[in-house]
Chain A
C-alpha cells in the first residue's frame, strides 16, 4: 500500500533511524483506512509444552489503531487465550513492549502496519506468548541500588537545585522501564559473554547517578557493577526508545565519563584509545594492546604473532609514524572537547 503523503524536511522527526522517507508519524498513521484489514502474525509460545508457532489473524482497522488495539481485538474475538501484558494504554506503565516487524515498540504507542509480525521482546525469558519474565532486569536494577544517598543533611523544601544540574538526570527520569532498549541491545544479546548491565538498567541508574545530590562514593559502587565500557555505542537503544531518551549521548556517555573519573581502571581501554587517537590521529591496534595489556602481551605472545601475521597490527607504524597532520588535528579537537566539558 502506498501513501500519497510526501514528507518534507520540516515534518521529518530528527531521530536517528526513525525518520526515513515515508516513515514519518503522519505517514504511518495514514497507511490504512477504516475497514482495511491488518494482517497480524503473532508468535505464540507455551513454556509448559515448550512449543512455539506463528498464528495469523485478520484484524479490521479502526481509526488511528495502535498495536495494542490489534492485540485487544485478537484477544476478544479470535484467540481469547492470547497472553500479553499491558496496564495503562498511555505510555506510562511501560509493560506492553513487543517486537513488531523486528523492531521494538510500545504496543500502546505505535501505529499498526498493514502487515505485522508481533513477537515478544528479546533478551528476556518468555513466559507465555508475548509475556516476558522481567525478573533479570528488575534484579539488575535493584543490585545497582538506584536511590540517592546524601552527603549533607536535607534541609527543607525546596532545596537548592537547578535544571541545568539535573539536565541529564531529567532525561533519564522519562524512562518508563519498558525494556525496548534492553531487547534491542546487541551486547545484552551476547548473554553472559560480558558483564554489561544493559541500557535500561543504566538509564535507571542515570536517574540518580547523574543527580548532583547523590554521594559520588555511592555512584562509584554502582558504576563498578555495570560493565559500562562494554557498550559499543551503536545507538540501537536510542533508536527504539518510545520515550525518546537520548540514551547513549545523554545517559551512557555521561556515565562513562563519570566512571573514567571515579574508577579509571574500568576505563583503561577507553582512555588508552582516546590518548592514542589524540597522539596519532588514528587508532593504532598494537599501541592499544601494549597500553591496555602491558607486559601481559608477552604472555599472550602467540596471539600477538597471529595478529602480526594477519596484518592486524603494524609495529613499524606504531614505533615510527607517530606525528602526522592528522595527529595534530585530532589532538586539537580532543583537547578542545575536554576543555568545554
Chain B
C-alpha cells in the first residue's frame, strides 16, 4: 500500500475535477486527481455535444442572453437551482471560459471565411471542432493541460472511502488501482468530490461504465447532506438497439449552421416532436420531449424502451454532415441517411440532485469535503457550469486551506477499509456474480423507479433493494481472485455503493409529492409550486434519515402558476 500526501485530493477526472486541479495549480496549491477511468476519457464530460453561448458573446442579443439564463433555470432545472449561482456562472462563462479555452488551443468551429459557426435561433451554441463530439477535443485538451502542468493523477483507480481525522473532518481518500490491485491512501487537507451526475443505475443509462454513484455514497457515509436525489433527467431519443449503444443519441438540439433539428415519430409514423416547432426555447429539449413521449406511450403509440423513431429525414444529408457527427450512427447501422429513421428509447441521463453544497464556498456539510460539478445538488449542469464549479472550488480552497490542517488518520480505519476490499475480492458465496447483482438492480430501477413511478412501485422497489442487500450481497461469488485488472472485484465494490444510492433515490422520490419536469409521479400528477418549489434535503440523523424542505430564493425568474398538470407545463 502506498501513502501519498498532497494539499487537495480531487476525486474525478472530468470537466470539474480537471479545472479545479488547473486552477489550484495556478494558485500554487498541490493537488492529485483520483480518476476511476482515464482523465478526460471517461465520465459524462466526454459527451458534451456542443457549448451554449451565454451573455453577449458572438453577437448574442440581450434577448438571446436572457433566453440562455431562462433555459438554464426553467427548462434545465425546473427552478430547483440557486439563481444567484446561475448568474455568476453566466458571467464567468462569458468573460473567462471561452477565452481560456481558446487561448489554450481549443478549436471553436469556424467556416472557411473565419466566422465561428453557431446554431441559429433563440438560444445559440457553438462546437469544439464538430457538433456532437465537442466533449472529445474539449476533454483531451484538459488531459494535456494537466500533463503540461505536471499535476499527478491516479488513473483506473477507484476511491472506495473518505478517511476522517479524529475531529470528524475529511482528510484523505482510500483507493484501489484496479489494474494493478494496489491500495493507496491519499492524505490531503481537503477533498474535492467531482464524480459527475450520470450514474448507471438503470437498465438504460447514459453514464460511462465506471459511473456507479461512488461520489454520492462516499459523501453520505461520512455524513454529508444530500438534496433532490429524486430529480432524474432522461434522454428521450437514444438508439434502442444494440444495448451498448444506449447512450448513442439522435440529438434533438438545434444544429449548427441549419434551421432544422431532429424530428421524432411514433409507431404509426406520426410526428410528435420537432424541436424547432414544439420547443424553440428549450435548447436541450429533453424534458419537453419526454412529456410529448409520455402522451404517446399513454396512447399506445410508443414505449419508453422503444417502438418510436427519430431522425433527419426532413433534412439534406449535407445540412447535417456539415458541422455535426449525427449521420455516423445511421450509416454505421447500414441505414440510408438521412432517408431512414432509427428506433429510439428513453435512457436515464443526468441526476439533478446530489451532495448539498454552499454555492459560494463549494463546501459540503462536512468540514474538509468540497464539491464541484454534477455530483453537487445545486444544478443540473452543462460542461460550462461544471467547469465554473472547478474555478469556484479552487478559489474557495485558496481561502480555506490555511485553516485546514493535515491530520492523522486512525490506522484502524485504513485497516478496516483494506480488509473490507480484500474480503470483497475473495467473495465466495453461493449466490450471484457481482455483475448479475448490478444488472438486477438496474432492472428493478428501470421497472419501478423509471420514468413513471408511484408510491406502490417505489415501496416495492425498496423491498427489492432490502432483499438484495440481505440475500444477494453477502452471497456473491467471484470467479477469479486475481488482483490484476479484476473487473469482478470492481463490480463487487460498485454494487455496495449502488444499493445505498438507490435506496436514497427511492426514499427521496417517495418524499416529493408532486410531479416536476422529468420527475413523474402517477399518484401526484400536478406540479405544485406552492408546496414543492423547495429543495428536498436528505440528512443523516443517528442511525436513520430525516427530510427537510428548503425554499429557493427566486430573484430573477419565477413560475407563473401555483399548480398545474405537469404534462401540460411547457418546461
Which A residues lie at the B interface, using CB under 8 A? 13, 24-30, 46-48, 62-66, 68-69, 72, 75-76, 79-84, 86-95, 108-109, 127-129, 131, 134, 142, 145-148, 150, 154, 156-164, 166, 169-170, 173-174, 176-177, 207-208, 211, 213
Contact = CB atoms under 8 A, between A and B. Distances in A.
Contacts, number: 180
Contact of A81 (B116, B140, B332, B486): B486
B109 A163 contact: yes
A147 B105 contact: yes
Contacts of A164: 112
B316 interface: no
B107 A169 contact: yes
Contact of B38 (A48, A83, A84, A95): A95
B47 A72 contact: no
A81 B483 CA distance: 11
B488 A47 contact: no
B247 A88 contact: yes
Given A95-B38, A127-B485, A208 B242 contact: no
Contacts of A109: 332
A31 B179 CA distance: 36
A30 B114 CA distance: 43
Given A63-B242, A157-B102, A86 B334 contact: no
26 contacts: A13-B331, A26-B334, A28-B334, A30-B334, A46-B482, A62-B241, A63-B242, A66-B242, A81-B480, A81-B486, A82-B487, A83-B485, A83-B486, A86-B209, A87-B42, A89-B248, A129-B485, A134-B38, A142-B147, A158-B98, A162-B113, A166-B110, A174-B130, A176-B136, A177-B140, A213-B105
Interface stretch (B431-439, B532-540, B554-562): B431-439
A148 B179 CA distance: 32
Contact of B482 (A24, A48, A156): A48
Given A87-B41, A88-B42, A161 B110 contact: yes
Interface in B164-199: 179
A257 to B, nearest CB: 21
Contacts of B332: 25, 109
B148 A89 contact: no
A28 B129 CA distance: 30
B202 to A, nearest CB: 15
Contacts of A64: 241-242, 245, 333
Given A65-B242, A166-B107, A169-B107, A24 B334 contact: yes
Interface string B8-42: 00000000000000000000000000000110011
B41 A95 contact: yes
Interface string B223-242: 00000000000000000011
Contacts of A150: 103
Interface string B474-508: 00001110101111100000000000000000000
A87 B129 contact: no
B58 interface: yes
B105 A93 contact: no
A254 B235 CA distance: 41
Contact of B102 (A65, A75, A146, A159): A159
Contacts of A69: 242-244
B210 interface: yes
A163 B135 contact: no
A218 to B, nearest CB: 12
B399 interface: no
A29 B37 contact: no
B333 A92 contact: no
Contact of A88 (B47, B129, B482): B47
Closest 6 A-B residue pairs measured CB to CB? A26-B334, A81-B480, A162-B114, A29-B334, A154-B103, A63-B241
Most buried by A among B110, B130, B485, B488: B485
Given A87-B38, A89-B247, A173 B112 contact: no
B164 to A, nearest CB: 30
A158 B102 contact: yes
